[in-house]
Amino acid sequence: MKREKDFNPVSGYMMLVIAILIAIFGVVAMAQSSPVAILFMAAFLFIMPGFFFLNPNSSMVLTLFGEYKGTVKTNGFHWANPFLSKKPISLRARNFDSDKIKVNDKVGNPIQISVILVWQVRDTFKANFEVDNYESFVKLQSDAAVRRLAGQYAYDNFDKEEEVTLRSGNDEVNHALEENLRNRLDIAGIHVVEARIGSLAYAPEIAGAMLRRQQAAAVVSARFKIVEGAVSMVQMALDHLSKQQIIELDEERKAAMVSNLMVVLCAEKDVNPVVNTGTLNH
């Protein structure tokens, strides 16, 4: 398999001077009705199509009757054999923001996901001859990589927090996406500068149900923390009362005190106290 190779063209400025001199000699020969004027004009017409210029981070792929001759990457004004076919290829970094596609995640939930890809051409031979159209190739392979990525991870996991998901595992997920795209785009000579998930959401048909599930999980988690803190505070209160010998409580009164404190500490609204003006037994 061929690889990219450099092509060193002739300086365009030098050939421009030669073309101007040939044109002058041709005009003088025509004025003198000399038959060599035809040769001068033919040489001038042959030279002119060979001029081209390159901007920074640009390249020109040259082929001669279907044979690859090399790639010019030096910016400036150049000249090459006019019979050479010239195809410009940009070497600049490009952004590709894919459309949102609907796929199923690892557990089968339909989600909408898109990718943001920064890429550039590194091997002009592969980009020009190994694939039919490298720009379309990048788009199609990006969609394929996103579909494969979505099948490897769940969108979210409410039961196993340690499991990497599309929503929580940003670094690992984006790294897996980059590696997948590098392997896919290497055949086209494309270098992946950066790849990351651009948009991620549940599909509309399950978005409402999943939102309620997330809210329920958040409420359960908050309740767990509240109860855990309340138990600690009740234990601390009982230990403090016992240590300071402020009051002696039997098991029944301890149970009543624990019940009242748990109600006060765990209630969603402020508790209205009921003042007992009788004895402790009433």
Whichever domain contains 177, its CATH number is 3.30.479.30
Phi, psi of 112 (to 5 degrees): -115, 130
Burial of 180 (0-12, 13-18, 19+ CB in 10 A): buried
Same domain, residue pair 80 and 101: no
Same domain, residue pair 102 and 68: no
Q: Would residue 207 count as lying in a domain?
A: no
- Show which of 168, 202, 236 is a domain's final residue: 202
Domain tally, the chain: 3
- CA dist list (Å): 22 to 25, 67, 79: 5, 30, 16
- Would you write out the chain's pLDDT as a tens digit for each of its 282 residues? 578 899 999 999 999 999 999 999 989 888 888 888 899 899 999 999 999 999 999 999 999 998 999 999 999 999 999 999 999 999 999 998 888 888 888 877 888 888 999 999 999 999 999 998 999 999 999 999 988 988 888 877 755 565 778 877 778 888 889 999 999 999 999 999 999 988 888 776 655 555 666 655 666 666 667 677 767 776 777 677 667 666 666 666 667 666 666 666 566 665 566 655 555 554
Global pTM value: 0.68
Q: Which domain holds residue 244?
A: 227-266
Same domain, residue pair 197 and 108: yes
Q: Cα(24)–Cα(29) distance, rounded to whole angstroms? A: 9
Q: Would residue 54 count as lying in a domain?
A: yes
Same domain, residue pair 252 and 240: yes
* Long-range Cβ contacts of 65-74 (<8 Å, 24+ apart): 68/2, 68/125, 68/129, 69/7, 70/5, 70/6, 70/7, 71/4, 71/5, 71/6, 71/7, 71/124, 71/125, 72/6, 72/7, 72/8, 72/9, 73/6
Same domain, residue pair 168 and 243: no
Same domain, residue pair 61 and 148: no
Same domain, residue pair 15 and 99: no
Q: Would residue 180 count as lying in a domain?
A: yes
